[in-house]
């Protein structure tokens, strides 16, 4: 592995909701917004905004990648098929969704360990270190070279990220 590859997301794999193992190298050359999601969260309506970003920019080389997570208030309790059905029928989601993962702690997915180390947030007492994901719908913007450019908290609405995405396209 080259030094450059070790600083990108391309060294990671993830399983889709259907169970297929995908290399993030498959997204090489695209601008990505990687998001930990949940179906029963106050921020769940952000799926609509994420899909709007996907629709607006996908033809220019942009993808949203959704990673369901049940670590925050048990707000993603469903099975893979429940998650897929909910996202498609409720919000018309067509961007890739991956299997439910942990984003913090000893069982955190390696991708999220990398993302949080590359772009730490704020340290908040009781919610963990600066690196820890604080809640559902934390978003990581990744450039075409696979490098983390910026982290956005849950309260940042997807439409507020559009200008940053456009600047990278």
pLDDT one-digit tens code per residue, 8-60: 999 999 999 999 999 999 999 999 999 999 999 988 999 999 999 999 999 99
For the chain, which domains are there?
3-168 (3.40.30.10)
State if pTM tops 0.85: yes
pLDDT digits (tens, 9 = 90+) for 99-133: 999 999 899 999 999 998 887 554 444 444 556 78
Strand partners, 98: 16
Catalytic residues: 41
pLDDT in tens, 73-105: 899 998 999 999 999 999 999 999 999 999 998
């Amino acid at each position: 592995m080259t030094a450059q590859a070790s600083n990108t997301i391309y060294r990671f794999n993830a399983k889709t909701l259907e169970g297929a193992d995908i290399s993030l190298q498959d997204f090489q050359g695209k601008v990505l917004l990687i998001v930990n999601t949940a179906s029963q969260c106050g921020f769940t309506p952000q799926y609509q905004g994420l899909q709007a970003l996907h629709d607006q920019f996908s033809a220019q080389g942009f993808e949203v990648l959704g990673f369901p997570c049940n670590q925050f208030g048990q707000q993603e309790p469903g099975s893979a098929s429940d998650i897929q059905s909910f996202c498609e029928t409720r919000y018309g989601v067509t961007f890739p969704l991956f299997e439910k993962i942990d984003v913090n702690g000893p069982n955190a997915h390696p991708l999220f360990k990398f993302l949080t180390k590359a772009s730490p947030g704020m340290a908040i007492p009781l919610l963990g270190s600066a690196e820890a994901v604080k809640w559902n719908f934390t978003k990581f913007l990744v450039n075409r070279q696979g490098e983390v450019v910026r982290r956005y908290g849950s309260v940042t609405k997807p439409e507020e990220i559009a200008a940053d995405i456009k600047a990278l396209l």
